[in-house]
């Protein structure tokens, strides 16, 4: 589900305001009679995993509260090219004014879900879990992370306040992996203290022992090649979960997952997913 803290109504209103400007859809106002009705189908033109249909419907409902929406697919399902996802019936001016905002959103979210499913399929059977990251577009994080779950992925932290992740810059400023982790433990963080799990990034094998000794609850193995990942997993020996991260691609994710890591995190899911080809056509 979409993060309950996300204000969908505010997102829809702001997006439509950006598109409509102060004068509204001047083309439709000039060309289409005020009372004209429209029935249109939103359909996929590609093999995709669907995400964002309720968000798309919200755009049409905002401009035409009486719109009728028929749903032919649900988020998280894979559909073939030509599949009708939604059929909408309502005021023609309103629906055409909402079209671009609705399509932009469902195309973007379905693109994320589709790419995520490709990674999940590539990792199938390895036992590793696919994670997203915070590499999201400002204002769209909740929707983009929701799309990841539609594709079968798992969300990493949503915000800076719901997870402890000690990265390389934290380590550098703190004076090393062990001092950084120790500081987090001293602050009352960590599973042992009943706080948020402490995840620390390591990019060398010699950082693993100090991180664990200081109280790390999970290790992020950053930009390690497959051989080094295997060695890292062997050193950890199941004491804490491990996460492979950094430069993971669709053609490399399976080999990475097969090293025995618990998680594989992929920024590309939200950062680089191409939009799905979805259109709205007069029905």
Q: What is the pLDDT of residue 1?
A: 87
Which residue shows structure tokens 């697919």? 73
* Mean pLDDT on 159-182: 96
| Active-site option among 99, 144, 222, 243 | 222
| Active-site option among 19, 46, 78, 100 | 100
Q: Within a 13 Å sphere around the CA of 92, how many CA atoms are in the beta-carbon half? A: 16
46 is catalytic: no
Predicted confidence (pLDDT) at residue 142 exceeds the cutoff of 80: yes
Looking at residue 273, what DSSP letter applies?
A: P
- Calpha distance 80→196 (Å, rounded): 42
Give SS3 for 115: helix
Are 202 and 177 in contact, with CB atoms under 8 Å apart?
Answer: yes
Predicted confidence (pLDDT) at residue 166 exceeds the cutoff of 90: yes
- Calpha distance 76→55 (Å, rounded): 14
Q: How confident is the model at residue 75 (pLDDT cuts 50, 70, 90)?
A: very high
- Sorted by where each begins, the domain ranges of the chain are 8-113+274-282, 121-271
145 is catalytic: no
135 is catalytic: yes
What CATH code would you report for 121-271?
Answer: 3.20.20.70
- How much of the chain exceeds pLDDT 70, in percent? 100
CA dist 13 to 17, 21, 105, Å? Answer: 6, 12, 13
| Mean pLDDT, all residues of the chain | 97
Report the CATH fold assignment for 8-113+274-282: Aldehyde Oxidoreductase; domain 3 (3.90.1170)
| Active-site option among 78, 134, 135, 230 | 135
201 is catalytic: yes
Q: What is the pLDDT of residue 159?
A: 94
99 is catalytic: no
| Active-site option among 167, 204, 239, 249 | 167
Are 88 and 60 in contact, with CB atoms under 8 Å apart?
Answer: yes
Q: Got the DSSP string for 117-136?
A: HHHHHHHTTS--EEE--S--
């Amino acid at each position: 589900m979409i993060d309950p803290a996300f204000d969908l109504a505010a997102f829809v209103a702001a997006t439509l305001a950006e598109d409509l400007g102060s004068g509204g859809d001047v083309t439709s106002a000039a060309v289409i009679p005020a009372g004209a009705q429209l029935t249109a189908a939103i359909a996929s033109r590609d093999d995709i995993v669907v995400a964002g249909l309720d968000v798309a419907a919200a755009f049409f409902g905002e401009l035409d509260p009486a719109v009728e929406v028929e749903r032919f697919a649900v988020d998280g399902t894979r559909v073939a090219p030509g599949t009708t996802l939604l059929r909408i019936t309502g005021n023609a001016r309103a629906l055409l004014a909402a079209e671009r905002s609705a399509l932009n959103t469902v195309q973007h979210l379905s693109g994320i879900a589709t790419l995520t499913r490709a990674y999940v399929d590539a990792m199938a059977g390895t036992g590793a879990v696919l994670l997203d990251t915070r590499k999201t577009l400002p204002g769209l994080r909740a929707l983009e992370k929701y799309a990841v779950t539609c594709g079968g992925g798992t969300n990493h932290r949503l915000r800076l306040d719901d997870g402890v992740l000690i990265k390389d810059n934290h380590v550098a400023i703190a004076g090393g992996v062990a001092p950084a982790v120790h500081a987090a433990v001293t602050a009352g963080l960590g599973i042992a203290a009943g706080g948020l799990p402490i995840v620390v990034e390591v990019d060398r094998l010699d950082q693993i022992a100090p991180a664990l000794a200081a109280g790390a609850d999970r290790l992020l193995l950053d930009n390690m090649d497959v051989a080094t990942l295997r060695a890292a997993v062997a050193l950890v020996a199941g004491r804490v979960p491990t996460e492979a991260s950094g430069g993971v691609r669709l053609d490399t994710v399976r080999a990475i997952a097969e090293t025995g890591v618990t998680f594989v995190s992929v920024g590309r899911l939200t950062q680089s997913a191409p939009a799905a080809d979805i259109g709205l056509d007069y029905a």
